[in-house]
Amino acid sequence: MVAIEENSALLPHRVDRPQGTNLWILEITLEGNGLLEIPSGEIFSTPGHAFLFPANWPQRYGWQVSKDPWKHFWAAFQPRPHWEDYLKWPGLDKGVGSLSLTDRLYVDVQTSIEQAMAWVDSPLAMRWDMIMLEIEKILLWCESLHSGNVKGPLDPRIEQACEWIGSKLTKSFSLAELSRAVGLSESRLSHLFKVQMGITPLHYQSERRLEKARTLLQMTSRPISEISELLGYSSSYYFSRRFRKSYGVAPREFRKRNFFKSY
């Protein structure tokens, strides 16, 4: 279950669950101010702040009285088995994890929130799988922050290049096309991309394509041949070979080990 709510003097909803719930709760402040009560004191939640309650832990939080309306995203979920490392937030051993997102990560998290909300009213049976995928993305962004894996700000042109490549995962492209799209020479683009991303643009596209394939294998029951075609591989054989090289197992075996149905 996911939602975006706004609390204020007109709707001063507060959560007070001494026993918690049997689900994990993720809260992210989008606008205004929230107030989180913990045994050691209070935490003020401003835009870009996230907190995470494990199942069956007390939950006390809500709108900070006398401040602007508190607009926040929340998700109630049962973690999937492979999410264990994503949930090791600072402070979680005391009952609630708390993180302040960097500006760059906050933009990525907002995108996943928007995509999750877009699936809420979908008539498709797979909508919860897609919502869970966006929750997983949010947790991954947060995990990169508290694990120390966040790098410095990307050059705007490299960020643009990544977005351009992401929009063309199923199609081949040349370095010349990419350099024209971002306004850099081919040599400058190659050097800067390798310095900031650690890989070449073509390698980046390959990794993104395989990541999407991995997600589709985990979250959907689409045939492997259909996934291969959807992502622009020349054949299922070539797709399987590339997948095995990256993940150490064939797509079919990967799905067998990692496929999870929505709860």
pLDDT band at 262 (very low <50, low <70, confident <90, very high): very low
In a 3-state reduction of DSSP, which class is residue 15? strand
Domain match, 98 and 129 both: yes
Domain assignment present for 221: yes
Question: Whole-angstrom Cα distance, residue 224 to residue 68?
Answer: 50
Domain assignment present for 113: yes
Tell me what pLDDT residue 66 has: 65
pLDDT 10s digits, 241-254:
999 888 788 999 88
Domain assignment present for 179: yes
pLDDT 10s digits, 42-51:
888 888 899 9
What percentage of the chain has pLDDT greater than the value 70?
92
Both tokens of 93, joined, read 């051993």
Residue 61's beta-bridge partner residues? 15, 36
Tell me what pLDDT residue 96 has: 84
Domain match, 123 and 174 both: no
Residue 209, pLDDT above cutoff 70:
yes
Q: What is the CATH number of the domain that holds 43?
A: 2.60.120.280
Domain match, 170 and 215 both: yes
Tell me what pLDDT residue 147 has: 61
Domain assignment present for 89: yes
Total domain count, the chain = 2
pLDDT 10s digits, 66-118:
667 888 999 998 888 888 888 888 876 677 888 888 877 788 888 889 888 88
Tell me what pLDDT residue 35 has: 86
Domain match, 24 and 141 both: yes
Domain assignment present for 151: no
pLDDT band at 168 (very low <50, low <70, confident <90, very high): confident
Residue 237, pLDDT above cutoff 90:
yes
Helical packing angle, 236-247 and 251-258, nearest 10°: 60
Mean per-residue pLDDT over the chain, rounded: 83
Domain match, 131 and 164 both: no
Domain match, 139 and 181 both: no
Domain match, 49 and 125 both: yes
Domain match, 172 and 70 both: no
- Asked if residues 216 and 251 have their Cβ atoms less than 8 Å apart, the reply is no
Tell me what pLDDT residue 140 has: 85
Domain match, 132 and 114 both: yes
Domain match, 129 and 202 both: no
* Mean pLDDT on 17-24: 88
Which pTM does this prediction carry?
0.57
Domain assignment present for 245: yes
Q: What is the CATH number of the domain that holds 200?
A: 1.10.10.60
* 110-to-61, 107, 113, 261 alpha-carbon distances in Å: 21, 5, 5, 25
Domain boundary among 108, 127, 146: 146
Domain match, 76 and 165 both: no
Domain boundary among 94, 116, 146: 146
Tell me what pLDDT residue 149 has: 52
Domain boundary among 103, 120, 146: 146
pLDDT 10s digits, 128-140:
888 888 898 899 8
Which residue segment(s) compose the domain that 43 sits in? Answer: 2-146
Domain match, 95 and 69 both: yes
Helical packing angle, 251-258 and 201-219, nearest 10°: 50
